[in-house]
Amino acid sequence: MSSILEKFEKIEERYEELNDLLSDPEVISDPTRLKKIAKEHSDLMGILKIHATYKKNINTILEAESIIAENDDAELIEMAETEIAESRENLPRLEEQLKLFLVPKNPNDSKNALMEIRAGTGGDEAGLFTGELFRMYTRYAERKGWKIEVLSSNPQGIGGFKEIISMVSGADVFGRLKYEGGVHRVQRVPQTEQSGRIHTSAVTVAVLPEADEVDFAIDAKDLKIDVYRSSGPGGQSVNTTDSAVRLTHLPTGVIATCQDEKSQHKNKAKALSVLRSRLLDAKMEEENKKTAENRRKMVSTGDRSAKIRTYNFPQGRMTDHRINLTLYKLPEIMDGDLDEIIEKLSTEDKNIQLQETEA
């Protein structure tokens, strides 16, 4: 633990440096830099509180041991022994929290996220659940104070979507939502089912970090741009002008489309944002494959075709298969109560990384 404490001495030095920067007129006059420094300051404040509690428990043990060594008073010794027992009981939990903080942060965690939700097996029922998952994430975004903007959607006639793509913007969005990528399975009696049989359908969720030009530059000569009229359910035209845009990245064959805006210019900008994020994600996935051989278990970078979660409506049950977590509060979860699930996935992911670092 001594090496960890040494690292925290440097963190304390950095915290004091950030304190000074927050009162620097040059920093205050630069909103972008100020926001970045304030975020780092806030992050360090939280872990330094835990560090202070850890040191307080250590000091309590040392002082109590000193009292025991220097006194013959049975009552005083008993009180000191109680303090030692309580403080030692706290140390493992605090040490674990300190270790987890030292796991290197993914630089993409602070980015906005592109979320793609697509109906899989199950026909209309899968499309309906696609819409319900989108509502779940919309409600979660509202709880976190994030903004969610639909970039592209393909609604189906009876409700729900064959596909809906959105950009979620806010603080640490990708770091929270990256654990949602994978196959979400729903078990329930469809509205159209007369016999009351439970059906199983599937929806695929992909979560990509938003990429800007610094992350992934796209040469204009590598793009093929097609424009066409927007269409709604059943293929009917919903726009009389060629405002929908399809972008094809010729070197990779990656395609992005957008038709939700009436302006061709806005659709092109949104499609470009989607395309850039998909290209960055493909690059990240290739890098992950190189390191995945050494991973015993993967939480946030696993196979997207893997079933990650089951929503069983008759039993009001949600099961996350990656960490064997089962919660019987499905209505609350579908209303956006996802923090407990995401916190447990995040902790498991950090524990795995920590074990690999120490191995």
DSSP string covering 114-167, please? EEEEEE-TTTHHHHHHHHHHHHHHHHHHHHHT-EEEEEEEEE-TTSSEEEEEEE
pLDDT at 235: 46
Torsion angles phi and psi, residue 272, rounded to 5: -65, -40
Q: Given its phi and psi angles, is residue 160 left (phi above 0), alpha (psi -120 to 50 degrees) or beta?
A: left
Q: Which two tokens stand for residue 102?
A: 């030292």
Give long-range contacts, CB 8 A cutoff, 24+ apart: 240-245.
243/267, 245/271
pLDDT at 288: 67
Tens digits of pLDDT across the chain (359 residues): 556 667 788 888 899 999 999 998 998 898 888 888 888 888 888 889 988 999 999 999 999 999 999 988 888 999 999 999 999 999 998 888 888 887 878 888 888 999 999 999 888 899 999 999 999 999 999 999 999 999 888 898 888 999 999 999 998 899 999 999 999 999 998 876 667 788 899 999 999 988 876 666 788 888 888 887 766 544 444 455 667 888 888 888 888 888 777 778 788 888 888 888 888 887 777 766 655 544 444 455 445 567 999 999 999 999 999 999 999 999 999 999 999 999 999 989 888 887 776 65
Q: Are 227 and 245 in contact (CB under 8 A)?
A: yes
How far is residue 125 CA from its own chain's centroid? Answer: 26
For 77-123, give the secondary structure using H, E and C: HHHHHHHHHHHHHHHHHHHHHHHHHCCCCCCCCCCCEEEEEEECCCC
pLDDT at 295: 44
**Residue (of 276, 272, 214) closest to 247 by Cα position:** 272
pLDDT at 136: 98
pLDDT at 82: 93
All domains of the chain in start order, with CATH:
2-101 (1.20.58), 113-358 (3.30.70.1660)
Q: Are 162 and 127 in contact (CB under 8 A)?
A: yes
For residue 249, give Cα distances in angstroms to 244, 252, 273. 17, 6, 13
> What is the 8-class DSSP label of residue 251?
T
